[in-house]
Structure 1
């Protein structure tokens, strides 16, 4: 039985009780206290990092077979406890249960996919001639500081954990204070499968983050979150020349070409916009529509969006949950207010399942915005909420230029039955990932598609063999043959 009421730190596979605990409230029912999470300090960070460094000395020598075997056991445990974990996650971050449940399935697949790729990835390459040979071998880095966000905590944690441990590194995790419970429970149970100190967890605010990112024994920082925080992390890492991996925000464009069948593609596009109430780094955040189809696209999109049922994440009738916290709620409502005071037209849609509880949570109706300027705030920002702008265009060249006119470059999507044309445009988009006639990744994509962005959307990649490469150092050995 999983106990979720009180979450401690985890160092050397043991709970560490602290003097302070932060109250966690359900964002869909603010009067409900979900539990309490320990607040650590710099001293706790030092203990956790030293535990990880001590464990690293032997863990790095553990055979690849044994490391991968333990990861498969971790995936099996996650699979068995998925429904319980999904309930906890939905109560702390507001996501509808089906989304949280699907997230854990993705996490299981991420671990198993890493295991499947690891054996061939870690095979040393060797070339030889009559004068000598060169062997290029892949070695672990050391202690990895892993900082994960609140919107999809389980999958985003496992996308760091699996390749890092497969490579022979050890980990100190700092979960987001806004969704630390479910992922910490998972990490505690998974840590018990591994040697003491291989996986550690320290909770806290900025002071804990600063202590972790500046600790002299941390060799790499893997951070998923916002660009502003990433800049602070990068500055901290520079003091000791730590390597960094960043998966940051996006302002992902969707381009609907003039030959696309709107009725066929709209359900997929809407899913890409409003999943997790728009709180996804690679969510569709702006839609470019041919001028001739603009009015009909807007009308049909509003009809679809109006079918959302907004309510608590654990209400089985809900298809749309609340935002995570007051800060995000105020940010998005501020955007909406500024749109209403501009020439643009915004339509707020969806059905409230429990109007009496509306003000007891961070609920917002999904909104569609039309008649926006290409450089208007809602178009160029990362809204991270359920508000989507529609922008008209006339030519392929114009839409490519507008899509690239941003400092973000995470994901993107093109919609057209003309695959050659769609592929040509996709190759012109400045992004780490582009999908054609779909949003997100199929099973093949999750396993083989490097996940990450360009420009200010990140540094490095997760998933695939490229993601494994984030957690290794190359060691070249060159033998000179004697004559």
Structure 2
């Protein structure tokens, strides 16, 4: 299929290869898999299907680079590489954002946010590359003993990302590794690999030495091979809790360092005194943005009972104004789900919600009219009268489905908001600053957004409590995940 748009040149080049030791090559066994456009169901390309043997080769290349040329590259030069990569992503952004749209459906209307996010991450980590260092430590050891610490890169990092935001997720994984002097074996999601592959090309153009970034594509067995590999020192993973648990078990082979950003079922709490003009669209898009395919989506909407009916109706009315369609259309606000599998999962939860007694206010079905019938579209959905024990209130749906739950007072909503195995994000909508701070302290989640939702900046840490994972991304805490601390003792006598 010949495609005409900013990403046409890259897609029409033919089958996509893997990157090992600075060379683009076929997978060792020559196998490939198809990638699809979720808006149309059409095949848009074929990608190399890696195996454990390809992972072995990628790890060997990363190890050689880590112990060789890359170990001699100074912080300032790592900084320059990241800045050049930022310039190249800026210059090629229309192509990259179109790859996101074509392969996982993200509407191009999100492009300004995605661009700011990607470039700000690269600029931040570039700046931090020259800010890393140890400390001198006063000690009470006998004699004249001097103690200090060195901060050293962990080594070879296995980075594994999901499909829901390929451009920014790729940057978020490789930039801190480059800044700290690590090397990377990177696996994009099988449903959305093209953007990551194109960024790898740009990274090589930016001057990244061979072997520092290696990219293997494929399905879950590739990630499993990385998780078990004795030559990988750390896994940085974003994805489901179930996969995260498998990585934890696999990592025991060589006691890998892990940072895991896993699933969520985040509470978004609306108090009766909230500014409804802000809270209605804010709470709605906390779930509907990116078609609900966000780990920290505020999918459990707790609304104080005195405004519950009014608020839920307004959220439903807002949902009905959102245009669903092919993300290439700049007027579209909600794109498709990423795959047929995800479509079946989300519509299955919609059916379960109705069967368990939740009241469907709007949406609740696949959209099949006209051109939408060929893709994986669902309507933005609002359920009311949801109880805490219903499946749609307990399990991560990863689709545009709001479960609206009434509550009476703060103590009650704190208890119910925290009654979940997850703890990634949360929201609070109120004009009362004391209530805002009280809830921010009481809710057990890695992020609390007050009178906003999903705001993110490179210098502010993000991560989860409980089964939403451990470790942090962004901020100084993120760089710590890629560094070892070495203590040095010197007897000065």
- State the TM-score, normalized to the length of structure 1: 0.95
Secondary structure (helix, strand or coil) at the match of 1:309 reads coil
Residue equivalent to 1:457: 468
Is the CA contact (8 Å cut-off) linking 1:117 and 1:464 kept in structure 2?
no
Residue equivalent to 1:64: 75
CA spacing shift, 1:332–1:290, aligned 2, 3 Å: same
Secondary structure (helix, strand or coil) at the match of 1:7 reads coil
* Aligned partner (choices 446, 450, 473) of residue 484 of structure 2: 473
Is the CA contact (8 Å cut-off) linking 1:308 and 1:351 kept in structure 2?
no
Residue equivalent to 2:17: 8
Residue equivalent to 1:82: 93
| In structure 2, distance between residues paired with 1:183 and 1:429 | 35
Is the CA contact (8 Å cut-off) linking 2:36 and 2:191 kept in structure 1?
no
Q: CA deviation at 1:101?
A: 5.3
Q: CA deviation at 1:325?
A: 0.7
Matched, 1:155 2:178: no
Residue equivalent to 1:305: 319
Is the CA contact (8 Å cut-off) linking 1:311 and 1:354 kept in structure 2?
no
CA spacing shift, 1:223–1:352, aligned 2, 3 Å: closer
Q: CA deviation at 1:128?
A: 4.4
Matched, 1:342 2:356: yes
Q: Which has the higher strand share?
A: 1
* Aligned partner (choices 135, 152, 176) of residue 139 of structure 1: 152
Residue equivalent to 1:186: 199
Secondary structure (helix, strand or coil) at the match of 2:192 reads coil
Matched, 1:201 2:179: no
Q: List runs of 5+ in structure 1 lacking aligned partners.
A: none
> What does residue range 352-391 of structure 1 map to in structure 2 within 5 Å?
355-391=369-405
| In structure 1, distance between residues paired with 2:250 and 2:478 | 23
Aligned residues: 477
Question: Cα deviation per residue 1:399-458 (whole Å; 9 max; x = unaligned)?
Answer: 0000000000001011111112201111001111111111122xxx51222110010001
Q: Which moved more, 1:262-271 or 1:155-164?
A: 262-271
| In structure 2, distance between residues paired with 1:13 and 1:285 | 42
Q: Which moved more, 1:303-312 or 1:260-269?
A: 260-269
Residue equivalent to 2:261: 247
Residue equivalent to 2:294: 280
* Aligned partner (choices 31, 45, 49) of residue 35 of structure 1: 45
Secondary structure (helix, strand or coil) at the match of 2:321 reads coil
Question: Cα deviation per residue 1:106-157 (whole Å; 9 max; x = unaligned)?
Answer: 111111112223433x132113478332211110111100001100111112
Is the CA contact (8 Å cut-off) linking 1:78 and 1:186 kept in structure 2?
yes
> What does residue range 162-181 of structure 1 map to in structure 2 within 5 Å?
162-181=175-194
* Aligned partner (choices 389, 393, 415) of residue 401 of structure 1: 415
| In structure 1, distance between residues paired with 2:153 and 2:312 | 51
| In structure 2, distance between residues paired with 1:346 and 1:60 | 58
Q: Which runs of 4+ in 1 moved over 6 A?
A: 350-354
Is the CA contact (8 Å cut-off) linking 1:253 and 1:412 kept in structure 2?
yes
Is the CA contact (8 Å cut-off) linking 1:148 and 1:223 kept in structure 2?
yes
Question: Cα deviation per residue 1:166-215 (whole Å; 9 max; x = unaligned)?
Answer: 11100010110000011111112213421111000011123222222222
* Aligned partner (choices 447, 451, 460) of residue 458 of structure 2: 447
Is the CA contact (8 Å cut-off) linking 1:137 and 1:476 kept in structure 2?
yes
Is the CA contact (8 Å cut-off) linking 1:4 and 1:185 kept in structure 2?
no
Compute the RMSD of aligned alpha carbons: 1.8
Residue equivalent to 2:113: 102
Residue equivalent to 1:53: 63
- State the TM-score, normalized to the length of structure 2: 0.93
| In structure 2, distance between residues paired with 1:336 and 1:386 | 10
